[in-house]
Amino acid sequence: LYDVLVVGGGPAGASAAIYAARKGIRTGIVAERFGGQVLDTMAIENFISVQATEGPKLVANLEQHVLNYDVELVQNQRAAQIKRNELIEIELESGAVLKSRSVILSTGARWREMNVPGEQAYKGRGVAYCPHCDGPLFKGKSVAVIGGGNSGIEAAIDLAGIVEHVTVLEFADSLRADEVLQRKARSLPNVKIIMNAMTTEVIGDGERVTGLEYQDRSSGDQHTLALAGVFVQIGLIPNTEWLEGSMELSQQGEVVINERGETSLPGVFAAGDMTTVPYKQIIIAMGAGSTAALSAFDYLIRESVE
Ligand code: FAD
């Protein structure tokens, strides 16, 4: 039995666990993979106070910090269901059930991938998913943005201020982004938008991305673009499938939270990329994790006198 059980071991979960444990309450983390998305990240240059680090190094520091406290860390386990009886119960895919007086959800999110040859091989070596994170690494170079929705067009506008040239490739015959964003993007001299473009391959020299190939869906013609980077902006999927029906989710499937990190289920809090919090970043997830932990503590001290 835990006072606070954190589900998910990314930056949000690690931060929540440290804040909870520092209150002297029984704290546990159950996670499929401690570190989360940070494990897949190469250069991190926006973790404030650390000028530059690498994902695996930051994860090692996170783990050390967590284990410095009395936190029980259960790894390689996936949560499958949440139930609220007298206690909150997390059922794992293994069938085991963990019980806690309060729960902090932080199962993160994953970028939708293009699933074309070269994408996996050049991930972090030219294939990128986060313009706030990796944009400055492509200063003065040419990049493509895949996807013409709001996040794609926002990324193109953002990158246009940093890189030499941006080509937006949209699969459909029109952009889905808000009109005002489209107008802004079209007004920029170094942004080109190509419609009906199906990316078929990311190409590279074995070390880094050197370009991509796409098919013009109206003519069937194959084209090659020379590029240093490919920003894939076709959606961020919250890892919340296992929560459907048990609490309020947004249209995008994010757990709806308020400014205290409370979900619609009493005693259950959430933080990080899986929630409705705007902007998905390490430092934001960590801040949200600490908010959720302090709210859980507040909840527990009120609940215990009933
Ligand atoms: P995550 O990091 O996604 O962690 C989720 C955790 O939950 C993991 O431990 C996972 O195993 C676990 N989990 C998922 N489902 C279950 C389940 N059912 N049961 C149990 N456990 C589960 N941000 C920056 O600020 N700077 C950067 O430079 C940067 N670069 C990035 C580069 C890449 C390639 C990627 C993918 C992301 C990058 N980000 C960067 C974004 C940043 O990594 C995320 O915003 C951050 O990791 C979110 O933290 P989180 O704790 O909410 O979720």
* Residue 74 pLDDT greater than 70, yes or no: yes
Among 37, 231, 255, 269, say which to mutate for ligand 1: greatest number of ligand atoms within 8 Å of CB.
37
* Active site annotation includes 134: yes
* Active site annotation includes 298: no
Predicted pLDDT of residue 304: 67
> How large is the average pLDDT for residues 18-22?
98
Q: In angstroms, what CA-CA distances link 41 with 54, 117, 179, 274?
A: 7, 20, 33, 18
Cα angle value 228/229/230 (rounded, 5°): 145
The model's pLDDT over 184-216, given as tens digits with 9 standing for 90+, comes to 999 999 999 999 999 999 999 999 999 999 999
Supply the Cα-derived Rg of the chain in whole angstroms: 21
- Sheet harboring 197-204: ordered strands across? 197-204, 209-216, 222-226
State in Å: Cα 16 to ligand 1 middle: 14
Q: What's the predicted TM-score (pTM) here?
A: 0.92
Which ligand 1 atom sits closest to the C-alpha of 35? 9
ipTM over 0.90: yes
The model's pLDDT over 117-148, given as tens digits with 9 standing for 90+, comes to 999 999 999 999 999 999 999 999 999 999 99
Q: At 147, which amino acid appears?
A: G
Give residues with Cβ within 8 angstroms of 211, minimum separation 6.
Answer: 203, 204, 224, 225, 226, 227
> How far apart, in whole angstroms, are the C-alpha atoms of residue 273 and residue 117?
27
Which ligand 1 atom sits closest to the C-alpha of 30? 20
The model's pLDDT over 44-53, given as tens digits with 9 standing for 90+, comes to 999 999 999 9
Among 15, 51, 107, say which to mutate for ligand 1: greatest number of ligand atoms within 8 Å of CB.
107
Predicted pLDDT of residue 51: 96
User: Which tokens in the block code for residue 285?
Assistant: 């997830």
CB of 15 within 6 A of ligand 1: the answer is: no
State in Å: Cα 111 to ligand 1 middle: 10
Among 41, 112, 138, say which to mutate for ligand 1: greatest number of ligand atoms within 8 Å of CB.
41
The model's pLDDT over 88-108, given as tens digits with 9 standing for 90+, comes to 999 999 999 999 999 999 999
> How large is the average pLDDT for residues 256-268?
98
Instruction: Provide the pairing of β-strand 71-75 with 27-31.
Output: parallel
* Active site annotation includes 178: no
> How far apart, in whole angstroms, are the C-alpha atoms of residue 306 and residue 304?
6
